[in-house]
Amino acid sequence: MEFTLILRNKISIFFLFFITMFGQVYSNNIEKARIDSLNTLLEKAADWDTRKYILENIFDLSLNEYERRYSSLRNLYSEAKKENDVEEQVYCLKELGNYNNIDSLLVYINECQNLMKYNASIKGTLIYLNNKYEEALFQTLSQNGRNERLQNIQNDYKLYNNSQYDIYDQINILEKLTIYIYELFSTSTLHPDYLENLEALLDKIPEENHFLKANIYIRLARVYTRLNESEKAVDIDLKLLNHIDNLSRYYISKKRYFRDYSLNYYTTYTRLLSNFEVLTKDQLLEFYAKANLIGNNLAQLKNGDHLYNRHYFNLYKSLFLKNYSAALNSIQIIDRNNFNKIPQIKYLEYKIKVYKELNLNKNELANLYEQYIYYHKQNDAVHEIDKLNELQTFYDINNLKEKNAQLLIEKKDFELKNNQSTILFSFCLIFFLIIMLIIAFILFYHKRKFNHFLENENNELLKIKKQLEIEKNKAERSERLKSAFLANMSHEIRTPLNAIVGFSQLLVDEEENGSKREFVNIIMTNNELLLRVINDILELSKIESGFVEYYEENFNISEYFDELKTTFGSKIDKNKLIIKVEKPIDNCIVFLDKSRLGQLMMNFISNAIKYTPQGSIIWGFKVIDDGIRVYVKDTGIGIEEHKKDKVFQRFEKLDNFAQGTGLGLSICKALVENAGGKIGFNSTQGKGSEFWAEIPCRVVINNVCIENSKL
């Protein structure tokens, strides 16, 4: 029932997806309609997997609307927390980190740290949240606060910039450095080194940290673009595109069809086109077409940024293809709209190139050159100020260290002057203390030696006491076994002897042949019982003494099992019991003690007959890796649960009214385990039992030796 409900809900979501995809053209509220439909399904869903699936799709549909997006994400996180779904909680915390203020980020970081005790692999999420917090913190700090923070991070970098530290800790520090240096200095001599180190570390972390990788890829691409490192910027953005492709396929594999990465693609294509100088023609045309396609179809772009961006795209394309007339048209549109997002120096370079190639107004071209020189000087001045600020920031660190070192030196000189008057006294005191320490050491050594002697003596006494307790327990156990043995043997021997004596007397006095035959059968049965009791006692005595002999020989186990069927077939009522032999291989030669195997099988089969009033008894064998497995299955009364642990114990009989000493299975267990094998049983009360033994031996099938091991 539950599976049917889950399947119905998922089919409803798939149906909703395809219907709304085709209906998008006709409805401006299609997104709201989808969410309303999913909320209806959510009200009916009871199990967590279905609810999670629906809530994830609601969140994916809400990505373009802040309030709804935040509300759906909080609902998903709240339910994941109730269900103790750690993986989903981590996913929600990562997404929540994109949409909240500094106080909320601290809460999410704390919750993520708590979840790490259940799953240490989520450290990438923790680093991601920490750096989101750092970005938010930067906006709240004053200029002095930002400089101090940068100094602290630089000190941490010197500590963590070592391979012995966790790769995530190194990434965490490096990303913080790039955040502050990017925001504080437009150019930096240190920045390229930090970026290269960060990029190298990024390639080493698992692909599952896709959100961390994507965030750092975006940061690297922005910084390289601003530093005019176009080739590096394009290389990073191409990696980012591949990363977005993988991420999109991942969510589709999770049936999250509403997850839309169009805006991510558009932003990346825009940045790639801004570095058009290092693109190939195929790359430029591909990115140009894709960016325009997304910009024209995505509602939030076609009426917003794409209105202006398409003119930049046309400018980049025209400059690359050297279509300077089209480039001039784009420049004129950009100038009329007065909305230029291209860096001023680069934009002036584009205009100068177009004017030169088209041989336009010389005065206008001279004016452009004048503006270019002015902005270039201004830019150089900004760079110099940035370098000065950078040096000042890091100089302050070194200056502070030097002041601290000077204070320490002055403090040491002061302490040295104040202590000169006590040097002699201190020397005498130290000498006296050394003498006292030597004396104390000698006393301690002798005391320790004496304590060691006492400890050894105490340990010896404890060992003797423990050994005496073991021997005492053995003696008491032996006495109990002896008493039990005598009690059982007295009863088991007396019973058949009484029967033999009594019925022998009746046999003498009886005249009728029919009764004599019955008495003779009773005497023979009790003779067999008495013989079995004596044999069991002798066998037990051999096992107790550790003297168990094995006489190995080659014989066909299939034929031997047929012989057992003949032997036991005459002892059962064929109207009530059916005997079967299972032989997977007709010509199976084994090398082991045939009499010991017979002793084992006789016990198994006799017990099966004894406790199976009607039904069937099956015995057989299987070839296993290192020998054979023999078994006897019956449909008898089975074994009660509370008696199962007593089956292989000595003198234990599951039915006190049944004949036997209770030694047979105990002897079988000892024989099999002494030969390096295993023995056991499976039983269900009222349904029957299966007793089995796995015996190591050499097996030959069709003249091929399978295994060689001794019984």
CA-CA distances (angstroms) from residue 83 to 49, 51, 78, 109? 10, 11, 9, 20
Which alpha helices (DSSP H) does 298-361 contain, by range? 299-302, 306-321, 324-337, 344-358
Task: Say yes or no to pLDDT of 95 above 90.
Answer: no
Task: Say yes or no to pLDDT of 265 above 80.
Answer: yes
pLDDT of residue 658: 56
Mean pLDDT of 621-640: 92
Residues 6+ apart with CB under 8 A from 301: 263, 266, 294, 295
Residues 6+ apart with CB under 8 A from 518: none
Helix (H, G, I), strand (E, B) or coil at 538: helix
Give the start-end residues of each E strand in 151-265. Answer: none
pLDDT of residue 17: 46
Residues 6+ apart with CB under 8 A from 284: 273, 276, 316, 317, 320
The single-letter code of the amino acid at 20 is T
pLDDT of residue 487: 54
Task: Say yes or no to pLDDT of 419 above 60.
Answer: yes
Question: Count of residues for the chain?
Answer: 711
Task: Say yes or no to pLDDT of 559 above 70.
Answer: yes
**How far apart are alpha carbons 244 and 259 in whole angstroms?**
12
CB 272 within 8 A of CB 287: yes
Q: For all residues of the chain together, what is the average pLDDT?
A: 78
Nearest-10 Cα torsion for 416, 419, 424, 426 = -110
Helix (H, G, I), strand (E, B) or coil at 416: helix
- Percent of the chain exceeding pLDDT 90 equals 14
Q: How confident is the model at residue 234 (pLDDT cuts 50, 70, 90)?
A: very high
Mean pLDDT lowest among 103-112, 519-528, 539-548: 539-548
Mean pLDDT lowest among 228-242, 478-492, 625-639: 478-492
Tell me which residue of 228, 254, 227, 225 sits closest to 240, measured CA to CA. 225
* 541 vs 673 pLDDT, higher one: 673
Task: Say yes or no to pLDDT of 35 above 90.
Answer: no
User: What is residue 620's DSSP assignment?
Assistant: E
Task: Say yes or no to pLDDT of 657 above 60.
Answer: no
Mean pLDDT of 40-68: 85
User: What is residue 276's DSSP assignment?
Assistant: G
**How far apart are alpha carbons 151 and 396 in whole angstroms?**
9
Tell me which residue of 622, 625, 557, 631 sits closest to 584, measured CA to CA. 622
User: What is residue 99's DSSP assignment?
Assistant: S
Task: Say yes or no to pLDDT of 606 above 70.
Answer: yes
Residues 6+ apart with CB under 8 A from 320: 276, 277, 279, 281, 284
* Residue-wise burial string across 498-535, b where 16 or more C-beta atoms lie within 10 A, e elsewhere: ebbeebeeebeeeeeeeeeeebeebbeebeebbebbee
Q: How confident is the model at residue 470 (pLDDT cuts 50, 70, 90)?
A: confident
CA angle (572 as vertex; 511, 535 as ends), nearest 5 = 80
Residues 6+ apart with CB under 8 A from 471: none
pLDDT of residue 554: 92
CA-CA distances (angstroms) from residue 647 to 416, 483, 544, 605, 667? 86, 20, 19, 15, 12
Backbone angles phi, psi at 613, to 5 degrees: -65, -30
Task: Say yes or no to pLDDT of 50 above 80.
Answer: yes
Helix (H, G, I), strand (E, B) or coil at 554: strand
Nearest-10 Cα torsion for 226, 229, 231, 235 = -60
Nearest-10 Cα torsion for 157, 158, 160, 163 = 120
* 210 vs 241 pLDDT, higher one: 241
Task: Say yes or no to pLDDT of 23 above 50.
Answer: no
Q: How confident is the model at residue 652 (pLDDT cuts 50, 70, 90)?
A: low
pLDDT of residue 162: 59
Q: How confident is the model at residue 61 (pLDDT cuts 50, 70, 90)?
A: confident
pLDDT of residue 699: 92
Mean pLDDT of 574-583: 88
Q: pLDDT tens-digit profile of 364-405?
A: 888 877 877 877 676 655 555 555 555 555 555 445 445 555
pLDDT of residue 555: 93
Of the segments 347-356, 408-417, 534-543, which one has the largest average pLDDT value? 347-356
Q: What is the largest CA-CA distance in the chain?
A: 154
83 CA to centre of own chain? 19
**Could you tell me the two tokens for 486?**
């005598």
pLDDT of residue 282: 94
Nearest-10 Cα torsion for 486, 492, 498, 499 = -170
Q: pLDDT tens-digit profile of 103-119?
A: 888 888 899 888 888 77
* Residue-wise burial string across 657-677, b where 16 or more C-beta atoms lie within 10 A, e elsewhere: eebbbbbbbbbbbbbbeebeb
Radius of gyration of the chain (CA): 46
Task: Say yes or no to pLDDT of 691 above 90.
Answer: yes
pTM, full prediction: 0.52
CB 271 within 8 A of CB 221: yes
Mean pLDDT of 181-210: 73
* Residue-wise burial string across 574-598, b where 16 or more C-beta atoms lie within 10 A, e elsewhere: eeebebeeebeeeebbbbbbbebbe
**Could you tell me the two tokens for 660?**
């036997």
Q: Helices H, strands E: what count in the chain? A: 24, 9
Helix (H, G, I), strand (E, B) or coil at 142: coil
CB 661 within 8 A of CB 596: no
**How far apart are alpha carbons 665 and 669 in whole angstroms?**
6
Tell me which residue of 25, 30, 26, 80 sits closest to 51, measured CA to CA. 80
- Percent of the chain exceeding pLDDT 70 equals 73
**How far apart are alpha carbons 188 and 79 in whole angstroms?**
47
CA-CA distances (angstroms) from residue 535 to 147, 375, 491, 493, 532? 96, 114, 16, 12, 5
* 426 vs 590 pLDDT, higher one: 590
CB 698 within 8 A of CB 654: no
pLDDT of residue 710: 40
Residues 6+ apart with CB under 8 A from 342: 274, 312, 350
pLDDT of residue 269: 92
